[in-house]
Amino acid sequence: MRIDIISIFPDYFAPLDLSLIGRARTSGLLDVRVHDLRSWTHDRHNTVDDTPYGGGPGMVMKPEPWGEALDEVVDGAPARLILPTPSGRPFRQADAERLAGEERLVFGCGRYEGIDSRVAADAALRMPVEEISIGDYVLNGGESATLVMVEAITRLLPGVLGNTESAVQDSFASGGMENLVEGSVYTKPVTWRDQEVPPVLLSGNHGAVDRWRRDQALRKTARNRPDLVGAMPERALDRRDREV
């Protein structure tokens, strides 16, 4: 997969040189290229913004640099443009799984009050464009959202996670754990600050361990994500769970 990221803050993406994604880039498994939008400005101040038509607060990103940047970066290749925006469709695990199947993704990171709307409309003449939000809170730009989405997507690519990690469907659809959040996890030492690891995890009884983990996940989901419990199919709750 090739990922292009266009931003006025390219240094924001230094974390993509680290850890598993950094290793995947070094190995050639993943091709991530970060571009400074100001490279496509031609005035002495490298201007990327201007006042909004119709008035209103703040500034809007000018269309010209974006148009030139996308023309050069995409260069006629089949690519999908992702535009993080507060008003976008919510980003979910299913979107990460879907986008992990793409050959090329381009992320356009807006700032100020956003990117002139004609940029998305013009790009849509040549490629699929998705306006996506990572959550119902306000950020200052699209960079953090792009980091989140790139991590969620690329961790699903074969070979990116090592043997010690697992990117199965995580807790949102793995076998018998549909729509549940992760339960509690433990490692050595068996006693730490007078807290013991739950004995069932030391029992070697895999059936009992699986049942205990599912019960823990159910309890945590009911406590932290009642919205997911409501979406849980009746069959997902065995008789004992219905007593929860």
Ligand X SMILES: N#Cc1c(-c2ccc3ccn(Cc4ccc(CN5CCCCC5)cc4)c3c2)n[nH]c1N
Catalytic residue ranges? 86, 113, 155, 170
| The pair of three-digit structure tokens given for residue 1, joined into one six-digit string | 């997969």
CA distance 4 to 123: 15
Nearer to ligand X, 65 or 217 (CB): 65
Smallest separation, CB 76 to ligand X (Å): 26
Asked if residue 4 lies in contact with residue 106, where contact means CB atoms within 8 angstroms, the answer is yes
Give how far Cα 111 sits from Cα of 32, 65, 116, 128, 151, Å.
21, 13, 11, 21, 21
For ligand X, the binding residues (CB under 6 A) are 57, 84-86, 88, 110-111, 113-114, 133-135, 137-142, 145
Nearer to ligand X, 30 or 134 (CB): 134
Q: Is the CA virtual torsion 39, 44, 49, 52 positive or negative?
A: negative
Q: Which amino acid is present at 117? A: S
Nearer to ligand X, 85 or 221 (CB): 85
CA 119 to chain centre: 23
Q: For 31, how many CA atoms within 13 A lie in the half-sphere containing its CB?
A: 8
- From the list 186, 185, 183, the residue with the least C-alpha distance to 223 is 183
Nearer to ligand X, 65 or 84 (CB): 84
Smallest separation, CB 54 to ligand X (Å): 11
Smallest separation, CB 172 to ligand X (Å): 19
Q: Name the DSSP class of 179.
A: T
CA distance 54 to 116: 13
| The pair of three-digit structure tokens given for residue 145, joined into one six-digit string | 């959202």
Nearer to ligand X, 122 or 215 (CB): 122
Smallest separation, CB 50 to ligand X (Å): 15
Smallest separation, CB 169 to ligand X (Å): 23
Three-state DSSP at 209 gives: helix
